Chains A and B, each alone.
Chain A
Amino acid sequence: MSHILQVEAVCKSFFNVRVLRDVSLSLERGHILGLVGENGAGKSTLMNILGGVLTPDSGSVLVEGRRLALRNPQHAAEHGIAFIHQELNLFGNLTVAENLFVPRFPRRRVLGFPVLDNKTIQQRARQLLELVGLGISTDTLVGDLSPGERQLVEIAKALNVDARILILDEPTTSLTNREAERLFSLIERLRAKDISMIYISHALADVLRLCDEICVLRDGCMVAHGPKSEFSFASMISLMTGQNLEELYPTRQSRASNEPKLEVRHLSQRGVVKDLNFRLNKGEVLGLFGLMGAGRTELARMIFGLDSHAEGDVVIDGVVAQNNTPHDRVRQRVAFVTEDRRQEGLFMEASVASNVAAVALPAYSRFGFVDQDHFAEAVTRVGRSVGLSASALLSREVRSLSGGNQQKVVLSKWFLAKPKVLILDEPTRGVDVVAKHEIYGLMNRFVSEGGALLLISSEIEELLGMCDRILVMRNGEICDHLARPEFNSERILRSAFGAGALP
């Protein structure tokens, strides 16, 4: 029973705001420690301290019993700590082999000049890829890999520098289920090799499944730390939030009407979707479930005019759409929150106010001039919903907000344009429980005010909790259709996998 890593009474403040208060934890050799907490609870700060990115104000970090003052990421790496970031730090324009050895390439001397030792690089790279179970050529450009494969390359990179402590920050957010399974089996294999890990995730089921111990951070304090057996799904949530969130999905009083707002008729595109038909009524939440690659996102993009379709019609408010571009859709008061918040949903470096202005500005203009007062009032209203003061709205970059607040900015941006139809693609991905609850509240308000909502999600629980009806897609086709009384997660999964409706 030896502790490979100990953190003792670490404190950290930014601009006089306490982010971590007397946080202590310990990690045993060959164990996996799950770290859970809401966004903004201090998980990232704590991990950045372990990874050498930040230095603590007080307290200490001990690796194998030795007190260390970690100065920078390289220094942490020298002591066997590898931090696998949420945003992977790989170079898409370099090959897999090259990525494994940046920044220190094995070199040999040719005529006295240091030259890359390609033979060693290739050999070692093949061994590492085999170790993580990745059957690709070492000369593949990382830009051509799927997110899951990149994750494995990142882990291989850590193993290359003999890391004994791996910090995995939300490793599954961009992975398909199958890729996640592959990652989990790798994690198990690494544990068997006595590599210790800290596993940070919002996917509490994964944490319960993988980890030996669990600790919970709330508002910068360690509120619980113990073996897995002491925790349950419900206890983790109440520890994280400090309250009992029994009703994660708020109930909706309003009822769906029978007035179609969005209709899709015989929508087809060769190789993508085939003969899709459905209607979405006023005041209704229609769920869309399917496995990764079933065509859900593609369908949403076609409805919104981002991708073209070969046959079929999109009918909005009873009118068959003639032109299919996002510009037309915005004018028809359709809104689309994409699954990729960072790339497609927000201008990360711009202020909250500029982001909010992106869609709705024309609606607040007269003869091309912006009605400043009117617009400022609207922006302030948005600010209140995400908990930002008026000045912060103008000065804070969206990048600096938590995932949940970023998503609320995206939603607010679209709500300002007063949409009639709202399409949400994975709206609560990477969002903590409390923010989720708030987002569900926003969705319900939209629907009860007469909006029509198409909700795409990979979380069955979320669909069961929020929807009036659920469509299941598989292989580019709608393969099942359930109304609320017949909701049944097993049936949904069976349909999605193509296992048929057999008992």
Chain B
Amino acid sequence: MLRAAGNGAITFALVLIVFGSISRHFLDSSNLINIVVQSSSLAIVAVGMTCTLLTAGIDLSVGSTMFVAAAVAGKLLLDGSPASLAVVAALGVGLAFGLTNAVLVAYFSMQPFIATLATLFLGRGLALLITQTRSLNLPDGFVQFGSRRILFVPLPILAMVLAIGTIHFILSRTSLGRQIYAVGHSPSAARVAGINTRRVLASSYVICGLCAAIGGVVALSLLGTVSQTFGSQREFSAVSAAVLGGTSLFGGRGKVFPGTVIGALLIQAVENGLVLVNADPYIYPLVTAVVIFSTVLIDSLRHERFLKASRRKIRLEDVSLAS
């Protein structure tokens, strides 16, 4: 998995070099910070997504969860509620979506793909009801949150570091985290080993839902508006970020840090670079496709070399001659 994360890093470096040589401003420190700020929302969502991918599941409802969370928070803010209440309400939305997915997947044994596809539509519908299909434009006071700094660190970056740090810690240093890897590798072996697989599965969806809600709030603080396409198709960006960072869709393999974080930065850097070089917006998806293809291509090429190198050697004398 480190190998795969390395591929994301290689592509990332290539992207920096290419855009850096086309646009003078791309590698400015202000633009680089901008890239990190812009990627914070996606990174948080993708990190949650990684947890479900690690169990060999998926959560397609993250974009909708972002939408509902932002809509609820926006509505409260417009009604004059304090920001803290809005954030807590948004987290409540994330928890509710996470629990719903958790129950469907872990306790009713539904296919994660189908279960979360259903909650995706459920969420979009709810959010459109809440917003009455109108855009919510937040007062400037809240939008400034997105650009506020604490100890020179922009708030979105702080939120990102906190969220990623927590998830990274859970995955690498707690019992639950290691059990997520075990369940993803082999659910049947995990059951035999006495792991409560339902609870582990459920936890990963709850974590993912909470991350999606936080990502929604961060995106809201940056955009200042909840449009009808808020969070739309973010599930695909999140899966892409995780996979670019070396997470396996078959479960059990992948890391939040540096893996998924590099994936999210990579996607954002490409988008940012395309804006800076005034590229035709219609080619954005094409460039994203090229980036995904090349990362995965590097991975499979390296994998093939690796397989060849690790093939069993029997005739020792020949090997020593060859090397």
Binding site for B on A (CB under 8 A): 73-74, 77, 85, 89-94, 98, 102-105, 107, 113-116, 118, 270-274, 293-295, 298, 307, 475-477
Contact = CB atoms under 8 A, between A and B. Distances in A.
30 contacts: A74-B194, A85-B192, A89-B189, A89-B192, A91-B252, A93-B182, A93-B185, A93-B253, A102-B178, A102-B182, A102-B195, A103-B182, A103-B194, A103-B195, A105-B178, A115-B173, A115-B174, A116-B173, A270-B318, A270-B319, A270-B322, A271-B311, A271-B313, A272-B313, A273-B315, A293-B312, A294-B314, A295-B314, A298-B314, A475-B314
Contacts of B311: 271-272, 307
A476 B322 CA distance: 16
B86 to A, nearest CB: 27
Interface of B: 173-175, 178-179, 181-182, 184-186, 188-190, 192-196, 252-253, 311-316, 318-319, 322
A76 B194 CA distance: 11
Contacts of A115: 173-174
A298 B193 CA distance: 35
A289 to B, nearest CB: 15
A73 B318 contact: no
A90 B314 contact: no
Contacts of A116: 173-175, 178
Given A90-B189, A476-B318, 11 more contacts: A93-B182, A103-B193, A103-B196, A270-B322, A271-B319, A271-B322, A274-B315, A295-B314, A295-B315, A475-B314, A477-B315
**By CB atoms of chain B within 10 A, which of A85, A102, A272 has the most?**
A102
Contacts of B181: 91, 93-94
A271 B181 CA distance: 36
B182 A94 contact: yes
Nearest to A144: B310
A113 B169 CA distance: 11
B175 A114 contact: yes
B260 to A, nearest CB: 16
Contacts of B179: 102-103
Nearest to B319: A271
B186 A91 contact: yes
A186 to B, nearest CB: 21
A314 to B, nearest CB: 19
Contacts of B186: 89, 91
8 tightest A-B contacts by CB?
A89-B189, A476-B315, A103-B195, A271-B313, A93-B252, A74-B194, A476-B314, A105-B175
Contacts of B178: 94, 98, 102, 105, 116
A236 to B, nearest CB: 30
A114 B253 CA distance: 24
A91 B195 CA distance: 12
Contact of A271 (B174, B195, B253, B318): B318
Given A116-B174, A271-B318, A102 B312 contact: no
A270 B189 CA distance: 39
A477 B151 CA distance: 70
B318 A114 contact: no
B312 A274 contact: no
Given A93-B185, A271-B313, A273-B314, A102 B174 contact: no
B192 A91 contact: no
A44 to B, nearest CB: 14
A476 B317 CA distance: 11
Contacts of B316: 475
A270 B321 CA distance: 10
A161 to B, nearest CB: 10
B189 A91 contact: yes
Given A91-B181, A102-B195, A271 B175 contact: no
B92 to A, nearest CB: 22
Nearest to A142: B185
B315 A91 contact: no
Nearest to A113: B174
A114 B189 CA distance: 24
Nearest to B321: A270
Nearest to A92: B185
A93 B192 CA distance: 17
Contacts of B319: 270-271
Nearest to A296: B314
Contacts of A113: 174
Given A105-B175, A114-B174, A270-B322, A91 B182 contact: yes
Nearest to B186: A91
Contact of A73 (B174, B175, B192, B253): B192
B312 to A, nearest CB: 7
Contacts of B190: 91, 102-103
A465 B188 CA distance: 40
Contacts of B184: 93
Contact of B193 (A102, A294, A475): A102
A431 B270 CA distance: 57
B242 to A, nearest CB: 16
Contacts of A274: 315, 318
Contacts of A85: 192
B17 to A, nearest CB: 33
Nearest to B322: A270
A301 B28 CA distance: 56
A274 B315 CA distance: 8
Contacts of B312: 272, 293, 298
Contacts of A107: 175
Nearest to B176: A114
Nearest to A107: B175
Contacts of B194: 73-74, 77, 103-104
Contacts of A77: 194
A85 B195 CA distance: 17
Contacts of B315: 270-274, 295, 475-477
A71 to B, nearest CB: 12
A271 B253 CA distance: 31
A115 B177 CA distance: 10
A294 B252 CA distance: 34
A271 B173 CA distance: 42
Contacts of A93: 181-182, 184-185, 252-253
Contacts of B252: 91-93
Nearest to A89: B189
A294 B312 CA distance: 11
Contacts of A90: 189
A90 B182 CA distance: 9
Contacts of B175: 103-105, 107, 114, 116
A2 B313 CA distance: 51
